[in-house]
Amino acid sequence: MNSGLIVEDRQDAQEWLRAVLIAAFPGIQVDVVASVRGALERLAGRSPAIALVDLGLPDGSGVDVLHALRERHPTTLRIVTTILDGDQHLFPALRAGAQGYVLKDQSRTHLVQMLQGIAEGVPVLSPSIARRLLGFFAPPATEPTHESLTPREVEVLTLLAKGLSIAAAADVLALSRHTVGGYVKDIYRKLGVSTRAEAALEAARRGIVPIGD
């Protein structure tokens, strides 16, 4: 690792992550930016070997940075470093190209070891995140019978899986927000989920809609 990028707005976290990178990869040159805008400007230059990206930034989401990294610098190792562990943060980050997801409650020693494992192909995941992913994709002992989605519900779900809000989906389908909101409730009930990310992944798992950007 010859260069690294830290995208983090808190100064104490910046210093901590810089120390972690230097300890994991002695001699690495580390750039630090504190916003989505700063990250996008930095990505106009050379490719960092590794990027540690916070999700909650003052001018937007680190998911936008992950998208830009994947498109502009596909060889960069993209690791989320955050305090946000909910499905609504985890799955969009992974869909945007995150190759690791680390919670900031790790000790410095543990995080250093996790990053050093990159060379051996070890996934960079906090234990709780790894358990969440395993639990989510593990098939149930008995596959329950599910109601089928209607063609209109499939249309709505496809738009949500692409990242559109209920309001935006309503505009695309020329329906009211109230009507689309009703479809979303029915979709959640039929799929047995409670969030948009879960609905998109469950639909992809069943082959209702394809996994895509």
pLDDT tens digit sequence for 77-89: 999 998 887 778 8
Q: Quick one: fold of 151-205?
A: Arc Repressor Mutant, subunit A (1.10.10)
Query: Domain segments of the chain: what residues?
Result: 3-137, 151-205
Q: How far apart are CA 121 and CA 116, in angstroms?
A: 10
Per-residue pLDDT tens digits of the chain, which is 213 residues long: 789 999 999 999 999 999 999 999 999 999 999 999 999 999 998 899 999 999 999 999 999 999 999 999 999 999 999 888 777 888 888 889 888 888 888 888 988 988 888 767 777 777 777 777 766 666 655 455 557 888 888 888 888 877 788 888 899 998 898 899 889 898 888 888 888 778 878 777 777 766 544
Alpha helices by DSSP H, listed for the chain, are 11-24, 36-42, 62-72, 87-95, 108-116, 127-137, 151-161, 166-173, 177-191, 196-205
10, 6, 2: which is closest to 18 by C-alpha?
A: 6
Distance CA 181, CA 165 (A): 10
3-137 topology per CATH: Rossmann fold (3.40.50)
